[in-house]
């Protein structure tokens, strides 16, 4: 049987080399699927069909299995993120301290349900399971930066600032 040759990189975008690097480091083994998907997402911001196809072919993982994995884990996104992301922690301590009100306020202001990005691609509204900063509940991540003891007013103010940018 001829030796397996991984497929060529989808384009000369340098980021594919980083993705390929992760796979090579793991000897193109099937079990590197999630690691590689992490690399794709951190390089491209999300996972599109082309990327999943490339990774699946390279690691010899069936397409449906790869897609099953991508959609199983909430950390992976099939759509590009907005320019800014506000992530409201939905952990228990944050819930007890009223995080649901923050989510409701943000959803109302942006006109999108949590988990989506505004039409203009500016702002993504996400919720997280728990970021582990429970003692400062309710917690909001502003483009990844932890803010504690947040009020609806503060969330709306931030959204306003991003909207007019």
Partner 1 sequence: MTIEELEQIAKSVCQENEKYDFEVNVCMDLACSSQGAQQLKDALVKAAETSGKNVHIRRTGCMGPCSSGPLVRVDPEEALYHHVNADHAEAIVNSLGGAPVPDLQCDLNEHFDKQVRVVLENAGYIDPEKIDEYIARDGYKALLTALTEMTPNGVVHRITESGLRGRGGGGYPTGLKWGTVAKASGDVKYVVCNGDEGDPGAFMDRSVMEGDPHRVIEGMALAAYAVGASKGFIYVRAEYPTAVGRLTAGLRDARRRGLLGNNICNTPFNFDIEIRLGAGAFVCGEETALLASIEGKRGTPRPRPPYPAVSGLFGKPTLINNVETYANIAPIVRNGGKWFANMGSERSKGTKVFALTGKIANTGLVEVPMGIKLREIIEVIGGGVPGGHTFKAVQTGGPSGGCIPAEMLDVGVSYDALVRLGSIMGSGGMIVMDDTSCMVNVARFFIEFCMTESCGKCIPCRAGTAQMFTLLTRFCNGSGTMDDLELLESLCSTVKEASLCGLGQTAPNPVLSTLKYFRNEYIEHIVHKRCPAGVCNIQAPVTDQKEVLA
Partner 2 sequence: MSETVSNVKTLVIDEQEVSALAGQTILDVARENDIYIPTLCHLEGLSNVGACRLCLVEIKGGNKLLPACVTTVFEGMEVSTHTERLQKHRRMILELLFAERNHICSVCVANGHCELQALAQDQGVTHISLPYRNPELTVDASLAQFTVDHNRCILCTRCVRVCAEIEGAHVWDVMGRGINSIVITDLHDNWGSSSCTRCGKCVQVCPTGALFDKSKVGSDHPKYPDFLPYLNLMREAQ
Contact residues toward partner 1 (CB under 8 A) are: 30-35, 37-38, 59, 61, 65, 68-69, 72-76, 90-97, 128-137, 139, 145-148
Closest separation in Å from C-beta 163 to partner 1: 24
In contact, 103 and 152? CB cutoff 8 Å = no
Give the nearest distance from C-beta 7 to partner 2 in angstroms: 15
Dihedral (CA of 149, 152, 154, 160) sign: positive
Report the distance separating Cα 146 and Cα 144, nearest Å. Answer: 6
Q: What is the largest CA-CA distance in the chain?
A: 65
Site residues (CB under 8 A) for partner 2?
49, 52-53, 62-68, 71-72
Judged by beta carbon, residue 4 or residue 72, the one nearer partner 2 is: 72
Q: Which is nearer to partner 2, 73 or 96 (CB)?
A: 73
132: partner contacted, choices partner 2, partner 1, none (Cβ within 5-8 A by kind): partner 1
Tell me which residue has tokens 């991003």: 162
Rg of the Cα atoms in the chain: 19
Nearer to partner 1, 50 or 149 (CB): 149
Q: Tell me the sheet residues that pair with 128.
A: 89
């Amino acid at each position: 049987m001829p030796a397996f040759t991984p497929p060529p990189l989808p384009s000369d975008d340098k980021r594919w080399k980083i993705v390929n690097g992760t796979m090579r480091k793991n000897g193109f083994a099937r079990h590197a699927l999630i690691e590689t998907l992490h690399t794709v997402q951190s390089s491209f911001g999300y996972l599109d069909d082309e990327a999943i196809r490339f990774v699946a072919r390279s690691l010899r993982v069936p397409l449906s299995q790869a897609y099953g994995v991508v959609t199983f884990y909430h950390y992976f996104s099939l759509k590009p993120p907005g320019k800014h992301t506000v992530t409201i922690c939905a952990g228990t301590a944050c819930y007890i301290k009223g995080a649901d009100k923050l989510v409701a306020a943000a959803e109302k202001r942006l006109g999108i349900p949590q988990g989506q990005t505004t039409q203009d691609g500016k702002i993504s509204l996400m919720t997280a399971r728990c970021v582990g900063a429970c003692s400062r509940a309710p917690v909001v991540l502003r483009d990844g930066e932890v803010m504690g003891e947040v009020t609806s007013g503060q969330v709306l103010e931030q959204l306003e600032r991003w909207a007019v940018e």
